[in-house]
Amino acid sequence: MNYLRSIFPYDAESGTFTIEITIDHYDEIFNEWDPSPFRRRDLHPDLTDYLDYCSKEIPLKYPIRISIEVPEEKRNAAAEKMVEQGFRNNIRMDIFQLNKEIGKSNTLAIAEMVFAFFFLFTAYYLMGFAVDNIFYRAAIEGISIWGWVLEWQGILGFFFAKPDYRRQKKLFARYLDAELVFKNQKQTFTTTNPVLLKKRTVSPHSPTPAKKKRKLPAPQNLPHATPLKRKKR
């Protein structure tokens, strides 16, 4: 738990973990090759991979919040509303595709089980005939093996694949229930000290500014000294 809190911001009151995303423009959320509007556009593959990685790290019992940081000068309320609609439409489409995949998997598993029982019943029925032929016995053994293989495939598809589908469906449902917030992008450093800011922005390859020559004070008008006369010996 402490490890997760060190990576993701945690709200103790609601028990919510926050997944933070920083973008320069709203287009970065969606696939740049998709010309559709935001509400119908596919999410960017890199973003979906990042969200899947973060969501799998956070246990399913904790809700999540998705925080998107945008530069303040590029904030647009209408665009943010369309982005939220597009995000949730993508999640609904993912759930729809997952349900279709689950349906196909169940149909295939049932078909494999039906064919398995058919092959096993056929092999058991043919074994009742007293035919002393090696090819006949080999055919019965082959039918029996096919029956057991199909039965095992059906069991794998119908029972063992269900936990993965259920977990993925719960992840999508948590995305759909997640709060999507937009906020101004954090500044890299403050500009309270203009001298420090100037030092940070100077390039190491920029020419060194010429040093100003120090002016000496103007000589004062001192009274002329009377030259000393050398005494004769």
Contact 92, 100 (CB under 8 A): no
Q: What is the pLDDT of residue 128?
A: 79
Neighbouring C-alpha atoms within 13 Å toward the C-beta of 223: 3
Q: What is the pLDDT of residue 40?
A: 59
Q: What is the pLDDT of residue 96?
A: 93
Q: What is the pLDDT of residue 37?
A: 57
Structure tokens at 90: 């993508």
Helices (H), 127-179: 134-155, 162-177
Write out pLDDT tens, residues 28-43: 888 766 556 555 578 8
User: What CA–CA distance (Å, rounded) separates 171 from 62?
Assistant: 11
To the question of pTM greater than 0.75 for the whole model, the response is: no
Kindly report the number of other CB atoms within 10 A of residue 55's CB atom: 19
User: What CA–CA distance (Å, rounded) separates 185 from 21?
Assistant: 10
Q: Which of 23-41 are b and which e, b meaning 16 or more Cβ less than 10 Å from the residue's Cβ?
A: beebeebbbeeeeeebeeb
Helices (H), 44-76: 45-57
Residue 161 phi/psi, 5° resolution? -85, -15
User: What CA–CA distance (Å, rounded) separates 127 from 211?
Assistant: 106
User: What CA–CA distance (Å, rounded) separates 182 from 21?
Assistant: 10
Secondary structure letter of residue 30 according to DSSP = B
Exposed/middle/buried for 132, CB within 10 Å: 0-12, 13-18, 19+?
A: exposed
Report which residue type is found at 15.
G
Q: Which stretches of the chain score pLDDT less than 50?
A: 187-214, 216-217, 222-233
User: What CA–CA distance (Å, rounded) separates 119 from 127?
Assistant: 12
Beta-carbon contacts of residue 165 (< 8 Å; ≥ 6 apart) = 98, 101, 102, 105
